[in-house]
Amino acid sequence: MTQATINITPVGPVEIKTNEREIVLVGALTIDGTPVNCVTKTVRRNKRDAKRASVYPGFWLKEIKPGYFIIQED
């Protein structure tokens, strides 16, 4: 199966480890851990995006709770 990716506008495709069709991309967390600035993203599984995502490994997604991810940068 092809690696799952989501498209983040200024970055491009980023790899994600999930079996979901859609995820919630969290922009920030409040002090008590509540996600804010959330956007629903479609998970894509195509070879072209998977190849492009592997070229730029500086970004990755961390799951903060089931279905909710926040972007991390190295």
Q: Does residue 10 carry a pLDDT above 90?
A: no
Question: What local confidence, expressed as pLDDT, does residue 53 receive?
Answer: 83
Question: What local confidence, expressed as pLDDT, does residue 56 receive?
Answer: 66
User: What average pLDDT does the chain have?
Assistant: 89
Strands 5-8 and 22-29: unpaired
- Residue-wise pLDDT for 46-59, tens only, equals 999 888 887 766 77
- Residues sharing a CB contact under 8 Å with residue 67, sequence separation 6 or more, in sequence order: 18, 20, 23, 24
Number of domains comprising the chain: 1
Question: What local confidence, expressed as pLDDT, does residue 52 receive?
Answer: 86
Mean pLDDT of the region 18-31: 94
Q: The domain containing residue 41 runs over which residues?
A: 5-73
